[in-house]
Amino acid sequence: MSGVDTGQRIRRVTWVGFVANMLLAALKISAGWLGGSRAVLADGVHSLSDGATDVAILVGSRFWLAPADENHPHGHRRLETLVTLGIGLFLAVVAGGIVVDAVGALREPGGTSPEPIAAIAAAVSILVKESLYRWTAREGRRVRSTALVANAWHHRSDAFSSLPALISVVAAIVMPRWAFVDFVGALVISAFVLHSAWIIVAPAVAQLIDRGAGSEVETQLQTIAESTTGVHNTHALRTRYLGGGLAVDLHVRVDGACSVREGHDIAHDVRRRLEESEHDVVDVVVHIEPS
């Protein structure tokens, strides 16, 4: 899939998510306010934060999919990692804000039970956001975009956060003495959001510090290279991520009596086979050595 096609698919998926997030945010914030539910109101703010990350992807994808240039010979894929990291950190901030608001509400005397409209909004959000997660994650894996997959997890964290909101609101409605449960639900929501933030941030940080693909993937890449005609064996294989893609360099041993042209052709075949593998290899450096 070309960079243009990938960019169009990423932006199309993100636009759909953005519109859905804005509608759900308006629904839950209104229902939380009118229905007197702190949990649903916090959930609405979470949906609003989804919209902010959608904007980050819509803007950022135009840059990280740009072709390599003189100042960026390896392309601009690290920008995708930075956007992914930003999404995760933004989620963590949202989680902190929900905690502060819920703790403050718990300290307030009294409290009234929320209205059914809050529960309805939470139920609608669960259905819509889980559907968005499944679709966005599938498209993200298809185009191999870490930012799009991260945004999918943002959708799922919103679906997860709506579940305790729904439970706490229903509990508070059924048992008015338990009105405080609504505030506890907001705290549970913050835990889900924080967990989603960790799932997003950890891989992004690993990519920024040039962590390799792992022994299993590297073994598969080595097997592909060594099955190439003319290759005796390989060693010193190294990997690192460039956004959602993988950069590989390795040493390849060939017949010491082969010509420069033959060695070049073998290196070309190794590069082609690695780039055509399932691991989204975007850059390969092959060092030819005599066996």
Taken in order 69, 83, 58, 200, is the CA torsion positive or negative?
positive
SS3 214: coil
Stretch(es) of the chain classified as CATH 3.30.70.1350? 215-290
Burial 222-248 (b: 16+ CB within 10 A, else e): bebbeebebbeebeebebebbbbbbbb
Structure tokens at 52: 């902010």
Pair 213, 220: CB distance under 8 Å: no
Instruction: Return all residues near 226 (Cβ < 8 A) that are at least 6 apart.
Output: 233, 234
pLDDT tens for the chain, residues 1 to 291? 545 567 778 788 888 888 988 898 899 889 888 887 777 877 787 777 677 677 777 777 777 767 777 777 666 777 778 877 887 888 788 788 878 776 766 666 555 667 888 888 889 988 998 998 999 888 888 887 777 887 788 788 778 777 777 887 787 778 777 666 767 777 777 787 788 788 878 888 888 887 888 889 999 999 999 999 999 999 999 998 877 678 899 999 999 889 999 999 999 999 999 998 888 888 899 999 998
Pair 63, 150: CB distance under 8 Å: no
Instruction: Return all residues near 47 (Cβ < 8 A) that are at least 6 apart.
Output: 21, 24, 25, 28, 125, 129, 158
Q: In which element (H, E) is residue 202 found?
A: helix 181-208
Pair 283, 110: CB distance under 8 Å: no
CATH of the domain spanning 3-208, picked from 3.90.1150.10, 1.10.275.10, 3.40.30.10, 1.20.1510.10: 1.20.1510.10
Stretch(es) of the chain classified as CATH 1.20.1510.10? 3-208
Instruction: Return all residues near 242 (Cβ < 8 A) that are at least 6 apart.
Output: 74, 75, 77, 78, 282, 283
Q: What is the DSSP string of 51-97?
A: HHHHHHHHHHHHHHTSPP-SS-TT-STHHHHHHHHHHHHHHHHHHHH
Q: How many helices (H) and strands (E) does the chain have?
A: 8, 3
CA dist 176 → 5, 60, 117, 142, 179 (Å): 54, 47, 16, 48, 5
Which CATH fold topology does 215-290 show? Alpha-Beta Plaits (3.30.70)
pLDDT digits (tens, 9 = 90+) for 207-233: 888 788 888 999 999 999 999 999 999
User: CA torsion 165→170→172→175, rounded to 10°?
Assistant: -160
The secondary structure of residue 16, as a DSSP letter, is H
- Tokens 């510090």 sit on residue: 209
CA dist 278 → 61, 116, 147, 244, 286 (Å): 22, 49, 19, 12, 19
